[in-house]
A and B are shown apart, each in its own frame.
Chain A
Amino acid sequence: MSYLKVIHCTLCLKHGYVGVYSKPVLFKITNNTLFQHLARISTAQNWRSKVPLKTQTTATVKNKVTQDTRVWKETPSYDRKSNTGQYCLMLSKSRLTSLVVLTSMAGYALAPAPFQLTTFAFCAVGTGLVSAAANSINQYHEVPFDAQMSRTKNRVLVKGLLEPVHAIGFAALTSSVGLGVLYFGVNPLTAALGAGNLILYTSVYTPMKRMSILNTWLGSVVGAIPPLMGWAGCTGGLDAGALVLGALLYSWQFPHFNALSWNLRPDYSRAGYRMMAVTNPALCRRVALRHTGIITATCLVSPYIGVTNTWFALESLPLNIYFMYLAWQFYQKSDSASSRKLFRFSLVHLPALMLLMLVNKKYWSSSDTQEQTDTKIQDVGILDKRITVLPRGPVVVAQGNDKQC
């Protein structure tokens, strides 16, 4: 392997030697590719620009994608402008953020108040932006720790593709826009919940990860707040139904995270993260199993609290029983296979459960406002005097409407 040091001289015949511009360029040269590289340098558009030559193509023509195989690279990366979208997604931990937005949307859709598309959209966008900000700040704090673990060592700040200032700038922008959208587009309660969650995640949970295993319980609260935000966004308040949804999300975090962290014990130990899986493995397995039981119980109880109809209790039972079964396997065997199964199923379980809840929700007042339902209840009262056999519910309301027309 050999390297080129390229010196560009400009000579003028009359005035003699004019200038020399040296640029050490490291090229990997193998098998007579010297003159290919020469041709590339001489015709390079950016030879005179300050941007150093950075592409190093392999000798093969088939490989059209130029790969930067240099050992030392610019930080922050020069492709920031062209890859802005990708870097934003990476800073916001896009997969986690989309799951958070999904739970918030589910909270909105399940709330017993009219569905307004604009408010719904604002709620989703606002939650997504605030979540992106929280994740960006988290990455800013954890650069040396992320570098230690194989799961996180390719993050943008660890690799030097972006600087901490960029992460914080991105967080400042997304959090202000997100909270603004929530405050003006939805309602102050949702914005307050969003702001509270942001502070909880970045300033309490993130440092606590390295201090005590209680961070998992706190992190579960952080995960339970987005559906509450969605619910508050729809109804303007938090009632028993909201707490049911929050409790479901809270309990779900335990089998999800405990299973994930089970296989990362060596990395967590070396990087200094205090997780149940490392400090108290028995507790880790117990808690995961316990909370799958709590999820099952909560789903069975939800019809009585008025969030869903009774069909939901029946339909969710197979899903929850299988979840409990996997948690039981994890409790018994506690090996990498059972933990991975539990973790993967948790990613399926949550969206499936929320879909079932949505399909079986009790209140479907999509076009009615709160006043109309109130007047309908009065009409039903009048009707009841004449027709006593008819059951209360949407059927009576529709009939009441017809009678009015």
Chain B
Amino acid sequence: MNSIVMVPIRVKNIKRHKVWSYLLLRQLNTNDSKCVQIPNPKKISSDMVGPPDPVSNLRRVIFKQPTNETKMEKTYREMRTEVQEFNQKFWTHHNTRFFQEREDYLKKNLPEGQQNLSADEMSVFYKAFLDKNWKAHISYNIEWYKKNFKLLRLGLHVRLRKLLKIKDQ
């Protein structure tokens, strides 16, 4: 049902002319809460953070794209998007692998009739997984620290510029 309702809300007198304000409401029906629209970067008034991703556990951020964006702000926004994608990719692959390998381990070692393994038996798998992924973790760590520092530097620059610009005006 898509209904349009027009509701008058306010009447003001501006320069002796009556100005009417209306509210136009368009009702859109959606069936599922998961079909929430992703905010449009050009229309939002601030960066928006979303729900955690079910696989990577990271929250997606939509960065606001203002019309008067400076070059530095654009670089900053693009870098933030790139780092976000980098993190998302790593953790999605990593977590998928973890759960897959856990399932394989359980299938191999679960005796008949039992639902779970004890914590000590599972810890053999946890240790093996950690050891196997040590190199991957180290290289991700180094990459993440480098990118995080870069983002911080650029973020401080952008904010400083904004502050100084406001002071100049």
A71/B22 in contact, CB under 8 A: no
Bitwise, B150-169 to A at CB < 8 A (1) or not (0) is 01100110010000000000
B27/A147 in contact, CB under 8 A: no
Residues of B within 8 A of A13 (CB): 17-20
Question: Complex Cα distance A269/B95, Å?
Answer: 11
B36: nearest residue on chain A (CB-CB)? A71
Question: Complex Cα distance A402/B25, Å?
Answer: 91
Bitwise, B96-139 to A at CB < 8 A (1) or not (0) is 00100000000000000000000110110011011101100110
B39/A72 in contact, CB under 8 A: yes
Residues of A within 8 A of B120 (CB): 281, 334
A37: nearest residue on chain B (CB-CB)? B25
A2/B49 in contact, CB under 8 A: no
B45/A52 in contact, CB under 8 A: yes
Residues of A within 8 A of B49 (CB): 72-75, 159-160
Residues of A within 8 A of B19 (CB): 10-13, 18
Bitwise, B25-65 to A at CB < 8 A (1) or not (0) is 11111110100101100010111111110000111011000
A57 adjacent to chain B (CB < 8 Å): no
A11/B22 in contact, CB under 8 A: yes
Question: Complex Cα distance A270/B97, Å?
Answer: 10
A270/B18 in contact, CB under 8 A: no
Stretch at the interface among A93-101, A271-279, A380-388, A390-398: A271-279
B141 adjacent to chain A (CB < 8 Å): yes
A279/B131 in contact, CB under 8 A: yes
CB distance from A269 to the nearest CB of B (A): 4
The one of A24, A38, A52, A278 in contact with B123, judged by C-beta atoms closer than 8 angstroms, is: A278
Residues of B within 8 A of A29 (CB): 27
Within residues 200 to 215 of chain A, which ones have a CB less than 8 A from any CB in chain B? Answer: 207, 210-211
B81 adjacent to chain A (CB < 8 Å): no
CB distance from A100 to the nearest CB of B (A): 25
Q: How large is the interface on A (under 10, 10 to 19, 20 to 34, 35 or more residues)?
A: 35 or more
Residues of B within 8 A of A164 (CB): 148, 151-152, 155
A359 adjacent to chain B (CB < 8 Å): no
Residues of B within 8 A of A159 (CB): 49, 59
Question: Complex Cα distance A281/B140, Å?
Answer: 26
Question: Complex Cα distance A278/B36, Å?
Answer: 39
Residues of B within 8 A of A277 (CB): 123
A34/B58 in contact, CB under 8 A: no
A403 adjacent to chain B (CB < 8 Å): no
Q: How many residues of chain B are within 8 Å of chain A by beta carbon?
A: 66
Residues of B within 8 A of A268 (CB): 126
Report if A266-B23 is in contact (Cβ < 8 Å); known contacts: A160-B61, A164-B155. no
CB distance from B1 to the nearest CB of A (A): 8
A210/B141 in contact, CB under 8 A: yes
A334: nearest residue on chain B (CB-CB)? B120
A286 adjacent to chain B (CB < 8 Å): no
A42 adjacent to chain B (CB < 8 Å): yes
The one of B21, B127, B134 in contact with A8, judged by C-beta atoms closer than 8 angstroms, is: B21
Question: Complex Cα distance A272/B46, Å?
Answer: 33
A61 adjacent to chain B (CB < 8 Å): no
Report if A74-B36 is in contact (Cβ < 8 Å); known contacts: A5-B26, A144-B144. no
A335 adjacent to chain B (CB < 8 Å): yes
CB distance from A387 to the nearest CB of B (A): 68
B22/A9 in contact, CB under 8 A: yes
Residues of A within 8 A of B31 (CB): 1
Report if A73-B17 is in contact (Cβ < 8 Å); known contacts: A3-B27, A210-B137. no
Question: Complex Cα distance A102/B24, Å?
Answer: 60
Residues of A within 8 A of B131 (CB): 279
B97: nearest residue on chain A (CB-CB)? A270
Residues of B within 8 A of A362 (CB): none
Residues of B within 8 A of A272 (CB): 94, 130, 133, 137, 140
The one of A5, A144, A281 in contact with B25, judged by C-beta atoms closer than 8 angstroms, is: A5
Question: Complex Cα distance A18/B15, Å?
Answer: 14
Question: Complex Cα distance A53/B117, Å?
Answer: 49
Could you list which residues of chain B lie within 8 angstroms of chain A, going by C-beta atoms?
1, 7, 9-10, 14, 17-31, 33, 36, 38-39, 43, 45-52, 57-59, 61-62, 87, 91, 94-95, 98, 119-120, 122-123, 126-127, 129-131, 133-134, 137-138, 140-141, 144-145, 148, 151-152, 155-156, 159
User: 10 other contacts beyond A2-B30, A24-B43, A163-B155, with CB at 8 A cut-off?
Assistant: A7-B26, A50-B45, A51-B45, A74-B45, A75-B48, A141-B148, A148-B91, A153-B52, A159-B49, A210-B138
A-B contact pairs, 24 of them (CB 8 A): A1-B29, A1-B31, A2-B30, A3-B30, A4-B26, A5-B25, A5-B27, A7-B23, A8-B21, A9-B21, A10-B20, A12-B19, A24-B43, A38-B25, A72-B39, A74-B48, A76-B47, A147-B58, A265-B122, A266-B122, A272-B133, A278-B123, A279-B127, A335-B119
Could you list which residues of chain A lie within 8 angstroms of chain B, going by C-beta atoms?
1-15, 18, 24, 26, 29, 34, 38, 41-42, 50-52, 71-76, 78, 140-141, 144, 147-148, 153, 158-160, 163-165, 168, 207, 210-211, 265-266, 268-270, 272, 274, 277-281, 334-336
